[in-house]
Amino acid sequence: MNERERYKTTLLFGKPDKIPFSPGSPRESTLKRWHKEGLPENVNWFDYICEKIGVKIEKPKKTRVNLYYSFFLNPPFEEKIIEKKNGHLIVQTQKGEIVEVDERYDFSYLRSAKDFVTRKWHKFPVENLNDWEDMKKRYNPESPERIDLEFDKKAEILKDRDWVLGISFHGPFWQLRDWCGFENLCIFMAEREDFVLEMVNFWKSFVSNILKKLTSKIQFDYAIINEDMAYKEKSMISPSMIRKYLMGCWSEWSDILKKSGCEIIMIDSDGYIGEIIPIWIESGINCTIPVEIAAGNDLIEFRKKFGKNISYVGGIDKRKIAKGGNILKEEMDRIIPFLFRDGGYIPSCDHGVPPDISFENFIEYCKYLAKYTGWI
């Protein structure tokens, strides 16, 4: 099997020759530790570990093509430092938030999850209807900058590929939280239903418009809806609110994607997801990542309860990777064989790999993982 066939077959409960080898990705601070513990500088960490433990990943025969698309606001807000105080910076981000961070971090840390960066939010760009009217102007789905200038040419090349191609975008809860802030959004959901529904429907239409353009000529292998919406033990909003405000978006996007041939619709959410999974399944979602164990998720319980209605990526407790030894092995022996009986599971670290995981323990974990998944 090639990379594409293996990935799809695994998550759709087929019988792959091997399970994709996907240990999880370290953040910047993690790599800094590993470089002190034996990982050479200026090497690709994944390639180095594969070589060290004897995993030979077949390289795709077809050329990889980078397809550009954007669901991001355009134009972005100006990034600027508003104030410096006591070793902290108060800044305006591209998204229009006013955020306080440690002065060690520049704007690149706020644009992407390069590392585990604590921040404090002071203000959000949408606090009233006037703010909302201004924000909407930054989301024109017809803007030519949103789709690759060589879209037709690349779409033709992408028809014949042996590697995995996915698409990702924010779900309604994530996007409205970016606009309004978590606390404000929850208040709006309780007190200003019409305002929230207007924003939700706007986002649903915006994303659908771009998805239809992309999927008119490209069949993605998977889609990830970014939707962090759960704490430890509970979701951030009630199931009834999820149905009222979010479900319509997921259902419409899932329908568009599946009609185009994209069979794997995945939601990325931290926290405890047990009470949300049934709504995801009802909305056309059939996979989730990263299944954080510290939040109370139990993959074995989920498989017994939801069967083959949903597959999983992740679910290996980062805390037990950090401890290593028999503690890690016992956990992997407990989870992986049970889920592998039915398929629909790619084991991986249950979030970004944190710096409390030593390089030695990560290599040990990768060896276990490679044996379970059939690579060594």
- 33-47 pLDDT, tens digit per residue, is 999 999 999 999 999
Phi, psi of 80 (to 5 degrees): -155, 150
The residues pairing with 267 across neighbouring beta strands, listed in sequence order, are: 225, 288
338-371 pLDDT, tens per residue? 999 999 999 999 999 999 999 999 999 999 999 9
Q: What is the mean pLDDT of the chain?
A: 97
Dist. CA 281–CA 197, nearest whole Å:
22
Distance of CA 32 to the CA centre of its chain: 23
Q: Write down the pLDDT at residue 244.
A: 97
Looking at 3.40.430.10, 3.40.50.2300, 3.20.20.210, 3.40.190.170, the CATH number of the domain 3-75+126-373 comes to: 3.20.20.210
Residue 75: is the preceding peptide bond cis (ω within 30°)?
A: yes
User: Going edge to edge, which strands form the sheet with 98-102?
Assistant: 80-85, 88-92, 98-102, 119-123
Q: Write down the pLDDT at residue 316.
A: 97
List the Cα angle 91/93/96 in 5-degree steps.
110
Q: Write down the pLDDT at residue 233.
A: 86
Burial 142-151 (b: 16+ CB within 10 A, else e): eeeebbbeeb
Structure tokens at 177: 């939280």
Q: Write down the pLDDT at residue 241.
A: 97
Dist. CA 24–CA 350, nearest whole Å:
8
Q: Write down the pLDDT at residue 97.
A: 97
Dist. CA 177–CA 187, nearest whole Å:
11
239-261 pLDDT, tens per residue? 999 999 999 999 999 999 999 99
Coil vs helix vs strand at 92: strand
The residue whose two tokens read 């006591």 is 86
pTM of the model as a whole: 0.96
Contacts of 254 (CB under 8 A, 6+ apart): 265, 283, 284, 285
Dist. CA 348–CA 368, nearest whole Å:
11
The two beta strands, 98-102 and 119-123, are antiparallel
34 to 26, 37, 134, 217, 363: CA distances (angstroms):
9, 5, 45, 42, 11
Dist. CA 371–CA 352, nearest whole Å:
22
Structural domain boundaries in the chain = 3-75+126-373, 78-124
Terminal alpha carbon distance of the chain? 16
Dist. CA 46–CA 375, nearest whole Å:
14
Asked if residues 132 and 371 have their Cβ atoms less than 8 Å apart, the reply is no
Task: Chunk the chain into consecutive blocks of 10 residues (it has 376) and report each block's average pLDDT, rounded to whole numbers.
Answer: 98 97 97 98 97 95 95 97 95 97 95 92 97 98 95 96 98 98 96 97 98 98 97 93 98 98 98 97 98 96 98 97 96 95 97 96 97 97
Dist. CA 265–CA 109, nearest whole Å:
28
